């Protein structure tokens, strides 16, 4: 393991927030994670790709950076392949790699920031596909007692941007590997969500491949979302709220153009639409702001603190609740 003292985390979180770790420790294997836990106990913070977090203060104690790599085929037949991925593998780089192998399943999840190990925590999803649709198994280490674990798909208790790792196991487990099932033939393409079909029509693609879907998703995301390497952000800051059908109908009577999506347990509203209609799109206060092209995305224009971004988020939540009676929730983890 590599140990760094009083280390800035600015380059290790996509918001680019400059907070320090008292000790930054890099773990490169499951055994190193186990060894750390047995000798030091639970760290103050476990860090993956830093893409779904907002740092609001320095971290006193240890930050354990999970930097486990590897892409291994663990099962294969004529139709599908199961690939075991290290938690430290960059998600989008893995998506591109699977496409280069002629595999399907991850294409709708292209260009999502972060690493493979944090994907199950949020049950990442985009354009009609979620990780739960692909995931076979999660492996990791429980903190107390320090021991390895395996969970199958059902055991992860996936929900919309939710999992057991955000609830009963929050702060109690570290993910080291995930295994996903991908198709080799008869790809089950999902192209009816969002603007994917429109992008394919523009490109005059009548019989799309998984790579075509990925290219369309990347083009859509790049047109709406800022590159964290250029402008600090964590992607969508807020969850799309799910309300009862009665509340959705009441809102639709007042706002006839409001987008809605029927989901299990109610009706999903577009948080970005609510925020934009409330007048926050493109808003800036100092170096904290709302992206000019996508109201779901809060950004750091340079030297914003985590507290400044969080204050802006609370102001948006309060305003949307006042105007629409809908309570937004942050999708990112607040540290």
Q: CA Rg, the chain, in Å? A: 20
pTM to 2 decimal places = 0.83
Q: What was the pLDDT predicted at 179?
A: 98
> Which domains are delineated in the chain?
2-66 (3.30.43.10), 71-224 (3.30.465.10), 232-334 (3.90.78.10)
**What residues have CB less than 8 Å from 259, skipping those under 6 apart?**
269, 270, 273
Per-residue pLDDT, 191: 82
DSSP element (H, E) containing 147: strand 147-152
DSSP letter for 39, please.
Answer: H
Q: Are 141 and 176 in contact (CB under 8 A)?
A: yes
State residue 136's pLDDT score.
98
Pairing type for strands 298-300 and 232-233 reads antiparallel
Q: What is the pLDDT of residue 92?
A: 95
Q: Give the single-character DSSP code of 159.
A: B
Q: What confidence score (pLDDT) does residue 194 get?
A: 67
Cis peptide before 145 (omega within 30 of 0): yes
Catalytic sites, residue numbers: 161, 236, 331
- CA-nearest of 83, 95, 119 to 218 is 95
Sign of the torsion formed by the C-alpha atoms of 164, 72, 50 and 277 = negative
pLDDT in tens, the chain (335 residues): 889 999 999 999 999 999 999 999 999 999 999 999 999 999 999 998 888 889 999 999 999 999 999 999 999 999 999 999 999 999 999 999 999 999 999 999 999 988 999 999 989 998 889 999 999 999 999 998 999 999 999 999 999 888 999 999 998 999 999 999 999 988 889 887 768 988 998 889 989 999 999 999 999 988 888 888 889 998 889 989 999 999 999 999 999 899 998 888 899 999 999 999 999 999 999 999 999 999 999 999 999 999 999 999 999 999 999 999 999 999 888 88
The whole-angstrom separation of Cα 260 and Cα 303 is 36
Residues 67-87 as b or e (16 or more Cβ within 10 Å = b): bbeeeeeeeeeeebbbbbbbb
Residues with Cβ within 8 Å of residue 298, at least 6 apart in sequence? 233, 234, 237, 288, 289, 290, 291, 309, 312, 313
């Amino acid at each position: 393991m590599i140990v760094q003292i009083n280390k800035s985390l600015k380059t290790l979180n996509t918001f680019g927030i400059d907070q320090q770790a008292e000790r930054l420790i890099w773990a490169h294997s499951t055994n190193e994670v186990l060894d750390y836990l047995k000798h030091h106990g639970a760290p103050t913070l476990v860090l993956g790709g830093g893409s779904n977090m907002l740092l609001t203060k320095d971290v006193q104690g240890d930050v354990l950076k999970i930097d486990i790599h590897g892409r291994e085929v663990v099962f294969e037949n004529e139709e599908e392949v199961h690939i075991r991925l290290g938690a430290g593998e960059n998600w989008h780089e893995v998506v591109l790699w699977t496409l280069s192998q002629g595999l399907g399943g991850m294409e709708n999840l292209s260009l999502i920031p972060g690493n493979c190990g944090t994907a199950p925590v949020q049950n990442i999803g985009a354009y009609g596909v979620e990780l739960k649709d692909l995931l076979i198994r999660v492996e990791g280490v429980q903190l107390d007692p320090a021991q390895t674990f395996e969970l199958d798909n059902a055991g992860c208790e996936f929900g919309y941007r939710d999992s057991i790792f955000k609830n009963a196991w929050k702060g109690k487990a570290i993910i080291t590997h995930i295994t996903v099932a991908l198709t080799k033939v008869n790809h089950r393409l999902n192209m009816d969500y969002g603007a994917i079909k429109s992008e394919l029509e523009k490109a005059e693609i009548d019989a799309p491949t998984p790579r075509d879907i990925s290219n369309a998703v990347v083009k859509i995301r790049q047109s709406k979302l800022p590159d964290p390497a250029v402008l600090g952000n964590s992607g969508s800051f807020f969850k799309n709220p799910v309300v009862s059908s009665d509340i959705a109908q009441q809102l639709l009577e007042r706002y006839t153009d409001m987008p809605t999506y029927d989901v299990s347990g109610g009706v999903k509203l577009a948080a970005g639409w609510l925020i934009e209609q409330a007048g926050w799109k493109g808003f800036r206060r100092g170096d904290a702001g709302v992206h000019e092209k996508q109201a779901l995305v809060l950004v750091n224009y340079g030297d914003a603190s985590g507290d400044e971004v969080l204050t802006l988020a609370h102001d948006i939540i309060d305003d949307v609740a006042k105007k629409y009676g809908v309570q937004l929730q942050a999708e990112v983890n607040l540290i």
